[in-house]
A and B are shown apart, each in its own frame.
Chain A
Amino acid sequence: MLKGNLTCEDISKMLLAYIEEKLNKKQKDNVALHLRNCPFCMEKYRIIKKILDSTKEKKIQRARKFQQYKLLSAYCDNEVSLQTKENIEASLSLSCNLVHKVVKINSLRKILGETFENKFGNLELGLEKKIIERVKKDNIFYRIKALFKS
């Protein structure tokens, strides 16, 4: 069907670019003209637009959620400014959900910390003497000194 100077086939090729605003002014006007006159393409446009909008919205929400988590994570490490810390603490007093997230981060930190401590707390490697010996052997100054001693 020819509405304006574009066929429906042209439109289906250009629709995505139209929604993402990647067309030039003239192409854009042509597509808009066609859409106004063709209910079939208009319906197609609505469906695609809806899907894209919802995924975009989901992406934004995910990013927002991560930003929040990032702040809480830095807060647990005491790596936020005093102002941010106060803001976070004010939000924490209002939201169980946030408190729950902080508790989770802290319990992860706790099990990691305890496990590392259990695993390596009592480990004795005793490498220091060996290394110093190697340094001495490697260093010409100490080698000469040793030579004079002997």
Chain B
Amino acid sequence: MKNVLECSHLVRRFGERTAVDDVSLSIAPGETYGLLGPNGAGKTTTIRMVCGLLRPDAGTVHVAGLPVNTAAGPAKQLIGFVPQDVALYPDLSVRENLRFFGRLYRLPRRRLERRVDEVLHLIDLGGRARDRVDSLSGGMRRRLNIGAGLVHSPTLLVLDEPTVGVDPQSRHAILESVTRFGEEGMAVLYTTHYMEEAERLCDRVGIIDRGGLVAEGTPRELVALVAERDRVRLTAVGGLTAYADACRRLARVEGAARSGDKGDVVELVVKDARSLLPDLLDLAHALDVGIRSVEIDEPDLEAVFLHLTGTALRE
């Protein structure tokens, strides 16, 4: 089956800094592809090149065999772009926003009205169609942000971290919708730095770090890369950055990083956690770090990322 998206050896530099370095990826029809990486890894730059918003310094992008570039080529008719921040007109109504973005894709009037109604139903905003966007809640705006990328029934839907800053209920609704898009045959490129989203939604995941694609495969294939390892989470107080650095120097530790919402967690990917645990506790004692709790888990995509890059996804 012919791929919907083909990116080949994409490179993009900003001055001396290489934001995207030789990234190649492809997405088949009905496939949801997750681009997983921390902030600043190159996800958004890659997406901007895929959508024709940024010209690559090297490499090519094709959608359904058509080349994508910054001009208004036919490939853009097939792409639905959902930017990271809500990109809507706050002083227009929900329906007016959907209608405007549909018109940009030259939908005939009747079809446009039909699609607007369908999308309103899909994002569950039918009852607010006449309301101005600035009167909607944050979650509703997020849903409408996605809806605006769907009006023209794209072949490839590109979502750039659509759940950042979203409440749990809206987040659940967004993830449900994305699952449905894939089931309906739409190819989806989904960037996130939430490992659990990538695991839940994506048929395949590409791990991107410092501009480069470091691994790619199904979540199961990626977890298999660290199958013999354990993931250790130490909740602690004290000089945790120095402690993580010291842990990284221990034999059998393959990745260590400070993480957690409050920065009070050190995550480790290690071989044979149980035999290593006394060494970790001794080291904490030596560095005057107080360990509050220890968790030893099965490896997941987060552990894969830690193993491959040496840093945490949300570091």
Whether A associates with B in a native complex is: no
What is A's interface to B at a CB cutoff of 8 Å? Answer: none
